[in-house]
Chain A
Amino acid sequence: MDDHILEAHELEKHEALIPQADWFNRSETLQKLRKNKKFPTIWCSGCGIGVVMGALIRAIDHLGLSNDEVALVSGIGCTARMPVYMDFNTLHTTHGRALAFATGLKIARPDMKVIAIMGDGDALAIGGNHFIHAARRNLGITALVVNNAIYGMTGGQYSPTTPIGGRATTAPYGNIEPPFPICELAIAAGASYVARSTVYHALELDKFLAEAIAKDGFSVVEAVSYCHTTYGRFNRLGTAADMMRALKDNTIAQSAYERLTPEEKAANTKIVRGKFLDVERPQYTVAYDNLITRVQGGEK
């Protein structure tokens, strides 16, 4: 990367000409990046996944966890490239199996903070079974689902969260399938913590991620993002900045939503963001340890 030579006229435009090694020391967030990886990231210009990565690093930093205490597990897809750039323990697995590998990791190392980073297709289509059963068991894993309503990496096929009427490569006349509501699904399946925010509300996302990681139980954070390269192009939604603005305009905070009348609630088409569930339930690895103690003749 250091062979990048700026032209003289470029130098005038950018007052800050900093070697990459120095740039990593400019902020707490940048220090948590993996320094031997090729930057910039592989994501398209303006992709919201990078914002989620920043939020995740800030959340871990806020909790004061060391890099060795955190394990990031991911599958396949644009979102699954995220752990590659961060300097924590990482496990890059097969498509949809992030939670399956995370389950094994959490049972082997219950002391670790295991975070499964998945896209909407990875979590709900290919890995849908793992998602509901990890929630049912209440494993102490944080599932970060980045929902951009499309399969971006493979060329824009519709996913389980594509809205009705949304156009995609495999739905050129509009999608006819109702989307999965990720948060409602997680609540029904038995998660302990469920929250939703968007990449526009990045600081709210920081807060939810920090609470989810601190939670001892299955915690789900849905980060609503966008794919301007495929979904935005098929549906004429404009640039990355336009889609970011749409997230601002088309979402409603849970506190504001609850003040609406029943008629307004029924007519609401905006995405509700907020913390939907935060309960204490017996965590799987704790129950498992208790079982071992009981069977071996201990008290519990």
Chain B
Amino acid sequence: MPEPSAVSTQTQSTPPPAAPRKGPRGEVIIYAKWCKGCHICVEFCPTKVLAMEADEDHPRVVAPEKCTACHFCDTHCPDLAIVVRRLE
């Protein structure tokens, strides 16, 4: 699938530092237009990749290097506003 030119992801803009531990890595992309800010992804992320302040409408990726591609957030997002891509 060709990468849309409008896409600018966290890893493309700031490459994460060397992975602190072994295992699969992932990249979380949040689609803000569909997100209703329900907080489920933030509360359940096992490695605290996502965060959302009280004054924010949508979560944001605060620790992209910690993502283990467990796919909890994209399978449990009620608005299908998250896609997790496993990095090779």
What is A's interface to B at a CB cutoff of 8 Å?
1, 4, 6, 10, 13-20, 22-23, 25-27, 29-30, 33, 39-41, 43-51, 53-55, 58, 199-200, 202-203, 239-241, 244-245
Please give, as numbers and ranges, the residues of chain A lying within 8 Å of B39 by CB-CB distance. Answer: 46, 239-241
CA distance A26 to B8 in the complex (A): 13
For window 7-41 of B, CB contacts with A under 8 Å fall at: 7-10, 13, 29-40
> Does B38 lie within 8 Å of A30, measured CB to CB?
no
Q: 15 extra interchain contacts, Cβ-Cβ under 8 A, other than A15-B13, A244-B44, A245-B43? A: A15-B29, A17-B32, A23-B31, A25-B1, A25-B4, A40-B35, A40-B36, A40-B81, A45-B36, A45-B78, A46-B78, A50-B78, A53-B80, A240-B40, A244-B40
Do B32 and A14 touch (CB < 8 A)?
Answer: yes
* Given A50-B77, A202-B76, CB of A17 within 8 Å of CB of B8: yes
Are the CB atoms of A16 and B33 closer together than 8 Å?
no
The yes or no answer to B83 lying at the interface (CB within 8 A) is yes
Can you report 8 residue pairs joining A to B where beta carbons are below 8 Å apart?
A: A13-B32, A13-B60, A15-B9, A16-B31, A22-B4, A23-B33, A40-B81, A244-B76
Contact B76 A199 (CB under 8 A): yes
**Which residue on A lies nearest to B56, using beta carbons?**
A13
Residues of B within 8 A of A20 (CB): 33
Q: Are A30 and B83 in contact (CB under 8 A)?
A: yes
Closest CB-CB distance, B57 to chain A, in whole Å?
8
Contacts of A48 in B (CB 8 A): 78
**A14 engages B58 (CB within 8 Å):** yes
Whole-angstrom distance from the CB of A119 to the nearest CB of chain B?
Answer: 15
Report the bound CA distance from A200 to B43 in whole Å: 13
User: Judging by beta carbons under 8 Å apart, are B80 and A54 in contact?
Assistant: yes
Q: Which of A4, A30, A43, A50: most chain B Cβ within 10 A?
A: A50
Least CB distance from A179 to B in Å reads: 24
Contact A41 B79 (CB under 8 A): yes
**1/0 per residue B47-70: CB within 8 Å of A?**
000000000101011000000000
Enumerate chain B interface residues (CB-CB to A < 8 A). 1, 4, 6-10, 13, 29-40, 42-44, 56, 58, 60-61, 74-81, 83
Minimum-distance CB pairs A-B, first 4: A46-B38, A50-B78, A45-B36, A22-B4
Query: Do the beta carbons of B36 and A16 come within 8 Å of each other?
Result: no
| B44→A18 contact, CB < 8 A | no
A45 to chain B, nearest CB (A): 4
Residues of A within 8 A of B34 (CB): 23, 39-40
B82 to chain A, nearest CB (A): 10
How close is B30's CB to chain A, nearest CB, in angstroms?
6
Instruction: Please give me the residue from chain A that is nearest to B34 by CB atom.
Output: A40
Inter-subunit contact B77/A1 (CB<8 Å): no
- Taking a contact as CB atoms under 8 Å apart, the answer to whether A1 and B33 are in contact is yes
Minimal Cβ-Cβ distance residue in B for A242: B43
| Contact residues in B for A16 (Cβ distance below 8 Å) | 7-9, 29-32
Q: Give the complex CA separation of A53 and B75 in angstroms.
A: 10
Complex CA gap A241/B39 in Å reads: 7
Give the shortest distance, in Å, between B68 (CB) and chain A (any CB).
16
**Interchain CA distance A45-B34 in the complex, whole Å:** 10
